[in-house]
Chain A
Amino acid sequence: MPSISRDEVAHLARLARLSVTEAELDLFADQLDHIVQAVAQVGQVADQDIPPTSHAVPLTNVFRRDLVRPGLTQQQALAAAPAAEDGRFRVPRILGEEA
């Protein structure tokens, strides 16, 4: 039976960029454990030779004609930005202290 520990939830939260609280770690560890146990039954087909389906309708690559069409203006693109400066997105520093 699979089981998800509190440490594992903390690891998943880090991977998913969610700074969860201590209380959430307890709650989610319990809930995710139950959910994973409930969905684990799909594993019964794991060793069967069945082709996977990723999309309901088979996909083929499509090309469009290489035509110029209008995109967003700089002003439109920046209109919803949390912070903008000099016509650009202003973001927090991207390097950590140790860098």
Chain B
Amino acid sequence: MTDLIRLTAAEIAAKIQAKEVSAVEVARAHLDRIDAVEPAVHAFLHIDGDRALQAAKAVDEDVAAGRPAASPLAGVPLALKDVLTMRGAPTTCGSKMLEGWEPPYDATVTLRLLEAGLVILGKTNMDEFAMGSSTENSAYGPTRNPWDLDRIPGGSGGGSAAALAAFEAPLAIGTDTGGSIRQPGSVTGTVGVKPTYGTVSRYGLVAFSSSLDQAGPCARTVLDAALLHEVIAGHDPLDSTSIDAPVPPVVAAAREGANADLKGLRVGVVTELAGEGYQPGVLAAFEAAVAQLRELGAEIVEVSCPSFDLALPAYYLIAPSECSSNLARFDAMRYGLRVGDDATRSAEEVMSLTREAGFGAEVKRRIMLGTYALSSGYYDAYYGSAQKVRTLIKRDFDAAFGQVDVLVSPTTPTTAFGIGERTDDPIAMYRADLCTIPSSMAGNAALSIPCGLSACDGLPVGLQIMSPALQDHRGYRVAAAYETARDAAQGGPLITRVPELEVAH
């Protein structure tokens, strides 16, 4: 039975439909695994075994009655990032501000998962309101990286990525504002995809930076990510920035790519995303991946995107500005925490006391930074300039995609760093997003796929593949072809090399 937790989502779904295993058995195996490893990993903030088993039972009843599967992932367990609302469970966003808050509605992503017959095991840990690159900003304690429990699992979606690498779930949902799906994927040896902005509904995704936030799939294989991508993507009238266009054919691309070469494909290596500040082991693994793409028949060219150098500073003006506005809703009046309401204090005093008590240090820093950047007198120099930089980044991408089909880079400059190593140095923490931010700012599609272990420390390295907006399937095709070649060259999937965790008895 323990083998069930090592299967891919596609394999699990097929076995359930073939009646080789029941969805309830699959759910039980994962819940048992969660029981055993959670004390060490802490990927989850909330687990609901009864509800998961009920959902699994419903899938088994469909199979027994000969009804068609609700989706190609019916019966597959999933871990949901705690920034998406789900009725009947708390949504905390990793914050004391929302401790115990039960939302009265389902996010569109949640609804689509439930309708597709996925078995939601629980809600995963994250940096508070998705602000961070290590999950250390969670008010409920950090998640640990299954590759080395003294290291961070990335962030903000460290819980989702760690759940995959610890075999607690074969699928997870993350959200990516500046890299919160891709960077955790990179440092945990898992696949993380940021879809084109506007292709996955933000309805029910608690907003951090609305012009950047995007939910996406996390998995251990490219095909699994693609299958989940097609379940959650698509137009939603409840999200005003949702794109009314067909979902890119990502599953077909993943299936075709897995058995194909890359002849005729042009791959651009971004000049600006390498060099100083990059760990040598990361660069070596990245270069080996590029060599693999060349062996597969791709033509490799170097492409310069000069304005990418300004992407990180522009992001750390735009995201905090939007955050200072979005988080104004936490005012202690209609839901969430309220502190100091002693019948003498005014609403404004209660509000200030509540926000002081409910938000952690990083959230406060970003709210104040955003308030500063949006202040009259500073607006043109900071926020206005950052928006101009955003235009320059888009122009660089447009020019690059005029020459090449996809762009590649390391996903993040280093492997997983130690817990506590960067907590007192916000700027060092922000650098973890250096390579992922350009695609966030331009809104195009980007994914991270594991490409090897660093020779420096034996920890996973991620290859980032960036595609033009609404061309998400290009990245999947390249990633699937690379995954097949990588497994052949490295003697099996990278994730099988994750150390065995000590399990609780």
Contacts and interface: CB of A to CB of B under 8 A. Distances in A.
Interface of A: 4, 8-9, 12-13, 15-21, 24, 27-28, 31-32, 34-36, 38-46, 48, 50-57, 59, 62, 64, 72, 76-77, 79-83, 89, 91-96
B337 interface: yes
Interface of B: 101-105, 197-198, 211-212, 237, 240-241, 243, 310, 313-314, 316-317, 324, 328, 331-338, 341, 343, 345-353, 355-356, 359, 361, 364-365, 367-369, 371-372, 380-382, 384-392, 394, 426-427, 441-444, 469
Contacts of A18: 352, 355-356, 359, 364, 367-368
A54 B441 CA distance: 10
19 contacts: A9-B368, A18-B352, A18-B364, A18-B368, A35-B365, A42-B313, A42-B317, A50-B392, A52-B391, A53-B387, A53-B394, A56-B442, A59-B241, A72-B105, A80-B103, A80-B335, A82-B335, A91-B333, A92-B350
B211 A56 contact: yes
A91 B381 contact: no
Contacts of B105: 72
A27 B426 CA distance: 12
Given A4-B372, A13-B368, A72 B104 contact: yes
A39 to B, nearest CB: 4
Main DSSP-derived SS at the B contact region = helix
Contact of A57 (B101, B310, B341, B469): B469
Of the listed residues B338, B372, B382, the one surrounded by the most CB atoms of chain A closer than 10 A to its CB is: B372
Contacts of A43: 381-382, 385
A20 to B, nearest CB: 6
A74 B480 CA distance: 50
B336 A35 contact: no
A4 B317 CA distance: 15
A56 to B, nearest CB: 2
Contacts of B334: 77, 80-81, 89
A72 B371 CA distance: 32
A29 to B, nearest CB: 10
A40 B373 CA distance: 10
Contacts of B197: 55-57
A45 B338 contact: no
Nearest to A72: B104
Given A19-B352, A91-B347, A45 B392 contact: yes
B152 to A, nearest CB: 20
A93 B382 contact: no
A34 B316 CA distance: 12
Given A20-B364, A40-B313, A52-B391, 7 more contacts: A15-B371, A18-B352, A40-B381, A45-B388, A46-B381, A56-B441, A96-B346
A4 B338 CA distance: 30
Of the listed residues B211, B328, B394, the one surrounded by the most CB atoms of chain A closer than 10 A to its CB is: B211
A15 B415 CA distance: 38
A70 to B, nearest CB: 11
Given A17-B348, A18-B367, A38-B427, A80 B241 contact: no
Contact of B380 (A19, A27, A46): A46
A11 to B, nearest CB: 9
B352 A42 contact: no
A15 B364 CA distance: 12
A76 B102 CA distance: 10
Contacts of B351: 17
Contacts of A52: 384, 387-388, 390-391
Contacts of B310: 41-42, 44-45
A17 B368 CA distance: 10
A95 B241 CA distance: 38
A15 B371 CA distance: 8
A64 B240 CA distance: 10
Contact of A53 (B345, B359, B390): B390
Contacts of A91: 333, 347
Contacts of B240: 59, 62
The 5 lowest CB-CB distance pairs between A and B, nearest first, are A56-B443, A52-B387, A82-B338, A39-B313, A80-B335
Given A42-B385, A92-B346, A64 B369 contact: no
